[in-house]
Structure 1
Amino acid sequence: MKDISANFLAALQAARDGSIVPRRAVTFYAKDRLTGALVEVGFWTGDEDVVFEVVSGTTGVAEERTFYGALNLDIGEIPRVADLTTQTVSIRFSQVADIAQQLVRGYDIRLARVEIHDVLLDATAKQPVGPGEIAFLGQVDEAPIHTPAAGEEGDVTVSVISEAISMLSRTNPQKASYQGQKRRSGDEWGKYKGTVGTWEVPWGQKS
């Protein structure tokens, strides 16, 4: 069972008699092209820039983050599966805002780590009832940029795949490379792996 904060749980339980305002937030950990340092960029489905707490997908501890709003952010359905199939979530947002341009054009988001959070706002105060809860952890798989025609508004659709499942299916070329294996005490197990499939071995007669 997923462990959530007491305030978050209480808000969900009281929603039948009262009301809550659900929102979603996404954090990208992009790479600065000049320094190689990771840069945190957050968007949310609200209409203004805000700072609030979310539970870190790395440490599990609540931390304050800045989230930019008014980006027409649309986060697709998050698959809930019980097997090891790779889950993909689509994140779409407008590229008009400067911060959106900076993320997709100024920074490198190839294979960037992504955290998606569920956020509940109090219907009266319009403030989070507690830290945003982790809904999905993943990494960027692709991020095509739609260049609009004159007078139209372009958007970016980022495909994010499950981080845990993608790591299970990731191959390590170091384990299969002949040069990589040879560094382990002269291991030559893979010396002929590139040609052995074409060998013709005679059976029952002299070659």
Structure 2
Amino acid sequence: GTSITALKESLVKCEISQEAAKANVSAAKAQVAEIERHCSEKGDCSEELKVFLQAGTKELTEKLDLFISRVAKSSTALVKLRAATKIKDRAELLTLGADVRSALRKHSQKLGKKGEELFTGDLSEADFVAFIGTCEEKAESLTKENLARYFAENADAETQKLSKDTLLRLVMVYYKVTAQTAITSTLSIKEATTVRKIEIGEVWASDDVAERDDAAEVTR
């Protein structure tokens, strides 16, 4: 499919062409008006000249009407292109977000570190790109250009950085409870005490690394 960069370039070219077309329409209208004014104001024009000017005005008006119609159609196409560009841009950013989260979570698991241990503060664009570069398992989509797009979309408008809270949310894994279960004090089910039970429908967030309880033969 067409890349979002190519779509945006096409959109810019179309907008420039449309502005030029509108300028041509305005110039043509002014020319028609000038011819009509000349015919009506100049009393010394011969009948032959008036007929010639009127014929020229009619021809120019017909061509202008056709051109205006084409500009209107291009405006409709431009609206559709803007919408398509926006939809594609949003879809790509959502995919990039999923790829960033996946890379960070795998990195967290590989190092055996929680989010608080990975991120000590906010990250600039350069720091963010460099950090993703240290992730061994990441999608091919996470190029420097795409990471810059992702950063621009998610960075704080004032600080121009990804906040620590935002970074921690990226590492966080969210689970929707489908069956009542217990939150325990330790990994081992046999040795643990129940902290509380979570109910069906609850959303549980965790930045902890999943571990296997060999005795119970489950990963928790």
TM-score, normalising length: structure 2: 0.22
Structure with bigger gyration radius? 2
TM-score, normalising length: structure 1: 0.23
Higher relative CO (CA 8 A, sep ≥ 6), structure 1 or 2? 1
Q: If each structure's strand is expressed as a fraction of its own residues, which one has the higher value?
A: 1
